Each structure stands twice: as structure tokens, then as C-alpha cells.
Amino acid sequence: MSAFQSVLRTNKLSQLRSWIWTIPVAMLTTAVLITAAVATILLAPGGKRQLWFHHKWGAAVLGIVGAKVSVVGVDKIDQLANYVVAANHASLMDICVLFGWLPMPFKFLAKRELLNVPFIGWYLRRDGHLTVDRKSLRSSIETTNECARLIREKRLSVLIFPEGTRSPDGQLQRFRDGAAFLAIQSGVPVLPVGIVGACDVLPARSSWFMPGKIELRIGDAIAVEGLIARDRAGLTARVEQSVRDLLAG
């Protein structure tokens, strides 16, 4: 068997495994854990319980996929502080990695379309995650202002994918200024995060899973003291460069 034939056979077996094992089992796991999490929210609300579900769900799905995750830079996180977390986004697996291995409680600022996804949408609503209608500028501004208020008053950390959508080729795309604007409005630092290898496990717009290694890299927080709204472009550039450096290793 030639090298090309060997690779082709491996790829076909991996694709078959995705459809008959990985996708059904991951979906079932997601349905069971999210149902349990929603029930827990209704019966016994509590941040620590939800954090447990986050970790278990992320670890379970990536275990089913066959991905191994490592974390670098945990010491960069001040557990007494809250942040606007800015991460790159090249795969659906990014969410599992962040839920499973980012060692801090946080809420997502997600696109509103996710509310229509069974189980995922229910959980986003019940657990207090924020959503934004990207097609409406007014909605985006209102959501950002509300999110900034919650960050200040409830000392929440909020996670944003500043690229706006998954990278089609795994390369870092230009950052939008929403994360920077939110950090300035709320007065909390930006925590840059780089996720390496997730797009090899599951590329954007693909249902073909491959086992692999993923590394979650946490960078130094970027302070926003003294910045005003018109400084958001400069802050965005700093955050983007920091994430780019993390990805480069």
C-alpha cells in the first residue's frame, strides 16, 4: 500500500468514525449534561455547580473526540479579578476547550442565532449568558452596554471571540473592536487567550473529527485604566497582537 493510499484509508476511517461514533455520542452527552445543568439551575442555582458542569461537558466531548488538552499560563489569571476574555476562534471545539479548561467562571457573549439551537439555546438562556444580534447595530450597542453594567455590578468575566466568526482556514482573522469597547466601558482588563490545534481536531464548517492535541495558552492581562471609547482601535490592535503572539508560541 502506497503512502497516499494509507493516508486516504485513514481519512475515510476517521470520517466513518465521526458519523457512527463521535457525533452521536457527543450529541447525546451534550443533551444529557445540559438537561441536568438546566435542572440544577432551576432547583439549586449556584455558580460552582455550573462551573462543574462546564468542566465535565468540555472534558467529556473532547474525550469522545480523542483530543488531549494542555494549558499554559494559568498563573496569569488573578482569581480575585474579572476580565473580558478575548480568544481566537477556528473550531467548534474552542467552546469545549474553554468550558473544560479555562480555570475561571465566565459568561459567553454569543451570537443570538445560538438561542435557536436545541439544548445549547436553552442553556444559554437559563445560565445567564448574553447574546447579540450582529445584524442590528442598535442591538449590539444595547447588549454591550448591558454587558458592561453586569461586569461592573456582578463582577462577571465575559468571553468574546473578537474575530466575530470561526476562521475558515485556521488563520487568525482581524479583530473587531467589540471586546476592547466592552473592556473600556466596564473598566476591567482584557485577558488574551490563544487556542492551538482545535482546528486540526475539527475545522470550521466540517463534521469530520480527528484525534489530536490542543493547547490553551493564556497571556498577560491588558489593563484599560485611563482609556476612553475612542481608544478602542488601539486596544483592539494590542489584544490582537497578543493573541497572535500566543498562537505563534
Residue 180: CB atoms within 10 Å? 29
Give the domain ranges of the chain.
3-248
Query: How far is residue 179's CA from residue 221's CA, in Å, rounded to a whole number?
Result: 13
Q: What is the DSSP string of 136-201?
A: -HHHHHHHHHHHHHHHHHH---EEE-TTSS--SSSSPPPPPSHHHHHHHHHT--EEEEEEESHHHH
Buried b (16+ CB within 10 A) or exposed e, 138-168: eeeeebbeebbeebeeeebbbbbbbbeebbe
Taking only the tens place, the pLDDT of each residue in 23-43 is 999 989 988 888 887 777 776
Query: How far is residue 191's CA from residue 172's CA, in Å, rounded to a whole number?
Result: 17
Query: How far is residue 124's CA from residue 222's CA, in Å, rounded to a whole number?
Result: 28
pLDDT number for residue 77: 97
Q: Are 219 and 189 in contact (CB under 8 A)?
A: no
Phi, psi of 118 (to 5 degrees): -55, 145
pLDDT number for residue 2: 37
The C-alpha cell of 127 is what?
Answer: 445560565
For the entire predicted model, the pTM comes to 0.87
3-class DSSP assignment, residue 78? coil
pLDDT number for residue 136: 64
> In the CATH hierarchy, which top-level class contains the domain 3-248?
alpha beta
Query: How far is residue 159's CA from residue 99's CA, in Å, rounded to a whole number?
Result: 11
Q: Running along the chain, 249 residues long, what does each successive block of 10 average in pLDDT? A: 40 78 90 82 67 89 96 96 96 94 89 75 76 70 82 91 92 95 95 97 88 97 96 98 96
Q: Are 224 and 187 in contact (CB under 8 A)?
A: yes
Taking only the tens place, the pLDDT of each residue in 62-111 is 999 999 999 999 999 999 999 999 999 999 999 999 999 999 989 888 77
